[in-house]
Structure 1
Amino acid sequence: MSDMQPLLEILKDKASSDLLDENSRLRRDLERERAENTKLRSQYQELLPVVAERDILQQQVQIAHETAAQNLAGQQRVNEQINLLRENMAEQERRFRAFEERTDKRFRRSEEKLAQTEEDNRETRRQIEILRGEVDEVSRVQETQIRRLGKRVDKMARKIVRTKIKIRRLKERVVEYEARSASSRGEA
């Protein structure tokens, strides 16, 4: 038994040293996790302006939709663009709700999600610009049609004025003719 005593002491020292090493390693891991958590919280705070920008873009989409509805009623392509924008915004909304529900998991992937959201916002902006261009084009076409219609109306108004003048002249001639007829009958 006494022969085993030094071996037991060595094993005890080794176990104690292993436990201290493990404890140190766990403390380092904990500090690293805390630092990562702080970093992820900071990234979450950075993501909030992107969400605010998404809300602004959503308002712009709503305004674009209202403008398109007023100017382009019945335009299938515009409706398809609006539906695509709605689907895109619904997808962003779904992602944001999932982000709120799984904050801890998403902290680890926040940079990737931020990049995806920025890409979605760029795509949304691009689609809004396309939609604005189409609205502008339709507005230009409508203005051209209105100008043409105005010219036609002006032309018809001029014809009506000329016709009224002709009618007035004819009436004057009839009156003159009747007067001459009456005076020649009076002489006879």
Structure 2
Amino acid sequence: MSKHSSKITSWEQLFASTSDQLRSLGIENSRQRRYLIRKREKFRNGLHGPGGDLEHVVDGVAQLRVVEIPASAPAANANATKDGKDGKSETSAPIVPKTKKVVVNLTPDATEYTHQVSKVLKKYAHMKVQRGNKIMGPFLQPMKGTHGTAATITVQEGMWEDKRGHKVDGGERRQKEVRAKLRLEERRKA
């Protein structure tokens, strides 16, 4: 689509153009017009590809880390006393606050993350914690020495493309016919 960038002069023109208007601008191929319109609508709806919703990106590189944060506030009566059956008071064991592991986006040069209770953590599309503490997602490159708990994602060509499928043996309609011809050709060679 970069070859058509000179035909669209402004963001307003891009977001207001219909398929017929895009054709008059010189985008003749209907598949390319549909692709452009589909990507435009995804952008409007906030459906970005992998890494498209990251906040801290410097020179096309972002850092993701798995961190442990409190799941909820600790109980108010952590060491409260209660009466036992024999009438003696006893103290309960301290309640350890539960934690959960989440993926956070840091600047590429950051080494630590400090959690702010008032800050609502964002869930990033296509990125998740698997196997307890490893970050999994497309286009991630693990950082050395972190055992999968930290990774970087770099902007690269084709990262946000909608990839079309490929036909296997002539596609669904012709698959039996093409495979029969291939078997016949193999028998002739043998």
Q: TM-score, normalised by structure 1?
A: 0.17
Q: Which has the higher contact order (CA 8 A, sep 6+)?
A: 1
CA radius of gyration, larger in: 1
Instruction: Judging by fraction of residues, say which structure has more strand.
Output: 2
Instruction: Judging by fraction of residues, say which structure has more helix.
Output: 1
